[in-house]
Chains A and B, each alone.
Chain A
């Protein structure tokens, strides 16, 4: 694979109009990646999902060169129905359309010529890979005191015209003071055995609100990796909801730095996995100053031969007194071949804090099924009803009622 990476990288530097300086930077990240390669289970953060093995066994050889000069056709049938929304459409990793028709134009700034690119320096080799191969980094700035009237839906779609086996993309968001953004990531894939590497960076200024909903619903056999970095200033709120269901392999990472007082972060997630799927959510919430709050709820329903993992870490700095941190993960194993792994971690250096976590896993409660069956439901119905109630709990945590209903309809949950 090393050769392929090098060849594809050379193609990119020749074909596109990247400046010398950028090429140097990208080269640095490529070399960093080459040094370490794809993460494997020997690394603590990857012990439950060995991407290296998955690529070797299930995805196959990857290639990395995409020709971004050609446009792709947008398939409008993937659009979300019943919700007026702004759009950003990625097709095969290329931004085909940015449409903020519902908003005041001067309140949103879109910048694709970033002067000094803030590239992450991290221990994570997939981020290095993203830094080396990502095409154009768009930065979207929501101006002071502006709340988007309609949600923004980002469509991540792929089709058979894709040129390479791997896509890296990156978006940066800045929410200026007292602004708010509702963001839905919607995945729809027509390709098979691709690796999609998505990097988001959010900068939340004072009093701003970010709501991010990631919906991976449609069955596909791709491998996806998504990393959200969220920096939060005073009194800002971030809410992340993850529906992890469609792709064969999916790892979502949230890294959230609560840097301002009274800032809070919420992460809610659902794993709904069927045959042979392997998914993971990993969160790191860093409480860096006092009076910050975080809340996480992850629920999983796991079918035959599926495997889900949740690694959640709450870090509390010694300055971060009065921190309130909470984590809960629950899993229902439906088949004897399903597997759930959890590593809910607390790292605490301040004494006046309230931090707790809980984790439970097991099969459906026989007594509850018996109760429902004695009232006339059959086994399948009782099972569905129980799972419905189990997952509804997470969806109810969504604070935006419009989107909550949309998501309920999407996964077919009843109240």
Chain B
């Protein structure tokens, strides 16, 4: 058995489909003001934070669940979910990695991110979110020296209330859409990053999210602020254990780039996609939005979406500052009964703003994939430009690939170009590869990787390798 086959053997079933047996502290089931107060209370939040949550909840009560998306799902009973769940051993937060529950550490080991090792060898600072509470933050010292704040959201609320108060909810207000508002009301934890003026973050910051306890929705909230002239690259990886029922994941991610700052946000999402018959899996309804607030700022989203039963998200850029740049690179792969409705929004408000969208969609099996994107050039956004390219690859005739771009140009000085193609892997390409000794699956893997190359290139090294592997695994069994 060659290595490739061995790899496939190992990964045939969802590799991360284990669930750690740790006692949890849960909030009472259901959604009401008491639960929100419970969450706020257990996290010892200040009054203004509680008000923020209650305001959002007030708004949530009058909002209707949206229904315009392509993948439909059975109605979610929001009263039947736990909105807070934390491992019991977290009650007294450990000061260092050594104090962590060994079981927790083992979980991460299985995920492939042993904290110590990763901290030592990779030089990556990891802020791991286990269910709802941030477990450990490594490399803190080194970051602190430069004035970089990288901690959990709850810690930030305690220690840096001014920053949180100033920026939280400015990109995704509490009055936003249904899921974002729900998140504002009940979010439990997440990452907080602040890069001070003129600092170039010396390492990639990374969060590994993991949904463990069943029947919990995971509602993280991430806030990244890059002050004037700073730079940060942030990585996010997601996995979840196998479960029969569907789980909801509704995170909010807010990015703010001030003058001359740059934020690079990369995601490899590999939530449990459900079994071959489409049972179970994560509903990944995430709101990600970046605001290029200052002049010459840049926000770049890169995503590799291979997991989740339903992926429904549009990482967006609001290009408010003059000369700001927004980028979106995406690979979305759906197999079996997975469904994805993803894309981006580029909203040009400032002058000389530029945006670029590269989206690659691959659907196989019985899956359904939709690219939905908006490019909106405002009448004041003089001399702006956008380039969009979205390509879809279909494998088999039971799946679907759809492209729904919305293009609005209100400025005559600006240029928009949009291209989209849909095709399958051509017989000639396959034949060529097979003729040179590759078998059908290797050939497909090679061609697909070539198809995705433009996006894979954007990922940081460590992620690129993992992502490339994921691309191959996700399409397992879709050829022939």
- Known A348-B392, A348-B394: A355·B422 in contact at CB below 8 Å: yes
B423 within 8 A of A: yes
Partner of B412, one of A318, A338, A346, A360: A338
B399 & A351 in contact (Cβ 8 Å cutoff): yes
Q: Which residues of A contact B422 (CB under 8 A)?
A: 346, 348, 353-356
B414 & A362 in contact (Cβ 8 Å cutoff): yes
A345 & B404 in contact (Cβ 8 Å cutoff): yes
What is the CA–CA distance of A197 and B451 in the complex, to the nearest angstrom?
A: 47
What is the CA–CA distance of A355 and B400 in the complex, to the nearest angstrom?
A: 13
A277 CB → nearest B CB, Å: 16
**Closest chain A residue to B414 by CB distance?**
A362
B68 & A343 in contact (Cβ 8 Å cutoff): no
- Known A336-B379, A345-B403: A318·B416 in contact at CB below 8 Å: no
Partner of A361, one of B395, B405, B406, B407: B407
What is the CA–CA distance of A397 and B212 in the complex, to the nearest angstrom?
A: 60
B44 CB → nearest A CB, Å: 44
Partner of B397, one of A339, A350, A356, A360: A350
B415 & A344 in contact (Cβ 8 Å cutoff): no
B165 within 8 A of A: no
A44 within 8 A of B: yes
Q: Which residues of A contact B421 (CB under 8 A)?
A: 355-356
Stretch touching chain B among A107-115, A327-335, A384-392? A327-335
B418 & A358 in contact (Cβ 8 Å cutoff): yes
Q: Bin the interface of chain A by size.
A: 35 or more
A357 & B420 in contact (Cβ 8 Å cutoff): yes
A336 & B412 in contact (Cβ 8 Å cutoff): yes
**Closest chain B residue to A359 by CB distance?**
B418
B402 & A344 in contact (Cβ 8 Å cutoff): no
Q: Which residues of B contact A331 (CB under 8 A)?
A: 409
**Closest chain B residue to A365 by CB distance?**
B415
**Closest chain B residue to A302 by CB distance?**
B412
A71 within 8 A of B: no
B404 & A362 in contact (Cβ 8 Å cutoff): no
- Encoded as 1 (CB less than 8 Å from any A CB) or 0, chain B from 412 to 442 comes to 1111111111111000000000000000000
What is the CA–CA distance of A348 and B417 in the complex, to the nearest angstrom?
A: 22
B398 within 8 A of A: yes
Dominant SS among interface residues on chain B: strand
B409 & A348 in contact (Cβ 8 Å cutoff): no
Partner of A353, one of B399, B410, B423: B423
B409 & A351 in contact (Cβ 8 Å cutoff): no
Give the A-binding residues of B (Cβ under 8 A). 68, 379, 392, 394-424
**Closest chain A residue to B371 by CB distance?**
A346
Q: Which residues of A contact B68 (CB under 8 A)?
A: 44
Q: Which residues of B contact A341 (CB under 8 A)?
A: 406-409
B401 & A333 in contact (Cβ 8 Å cutoff): no
B402 & A346 in contact (Cβ 8 Å cutoff): yes
A396 within 8 A of B: no
**Closest chain B residue to A331 by CB distance?**
B409
Inter-chain pairs besides A351-B424, A358-B419, A359-B418, 20 sampled, C-beta below 8 Å: A321-B397, A333-B411, A342-B405, A342-B407, A342-B418, A343-B407, A344-B407, A345-B405, A346-B403, A348-B392, A348-B401, A349-B400, A351-B397, A353-B394, A353-B422, A353-B423, A355-B423, A356-B420, A359-B407, A362-B415
A42 CB → nearest B CB, Å: 11
Partner of B416, one of A321, A338, A345, A361: A361
Question: Which of A180-211 touch B at CB < 8 Å?
Answer: none
Q: Which residues of A contact B397 (CB under 8 A)?
A: 318, 321, 349-352
- Known A347-B400, A351-B397: A363·B416 in contact at CB below 8 Å: no
- Encoded as 1 (CB less than 8 Å from any B CB) or 0, chain A from 92 to 130 comes to 000000000000000000000000000000000000000
B412 & A333 in contact (Cβ 8 Å cutoff): yes
What is the CA–CA distance of A316 and B357 in the complex, to the nearest angstrom?
A: 25
A381 within 8 A of B: no
B413 & A363 in contact (Cβ 8 Å cutoff): yes
B394 & A350 in contact (Cβ 8 Å cutoff): yes
B415 & A348 in contact (Cβ 8 Å cutoff): no
B239 CB → nearest A CB, Å: 30
What is the CA–CA distance of A337 and B409 in the complex, to the nearest angstrom?
A: 10
**Closest chain A residue to B388 by CB distance?**
A359
- Known A353-B423, A356-B419, A356-B420: A334·B403 in contact at CB below 8 Å: no
B416 & A351 in contact (Cβ 8 Å cutoff): no
B423 & A354 in contact (Cβ 8 Å cutoff): yes
Q: Which residues of A contact B407 (CB under 8 A)?
A: 340-344, 359, 361
Q: Which residues of A contact B423 (CB under 8 A)?
A: 353-355
**Closest chain A residue to B369 by CB distance?**
A348
Q: Which residues of B contact A352 (CB under 8 A)?
A: 397, 424
A43 CB → nearest B CB, Å: 11
What is the CA–CA distance of A340 and B406 in the complex, to the nearest angstrom?
A: 11
**Closest chain A residue to B372 by CB distance?**
A345
What is the CA–CA distance of A221 and B396 in the complex, to the nearest angstrom?
A: 51
**Closest chain A residue to B385 by CB distance?**
A362
What is the CA–CA distance of A195 and B68 in the complex, to the nearest angstrom?
A: 30
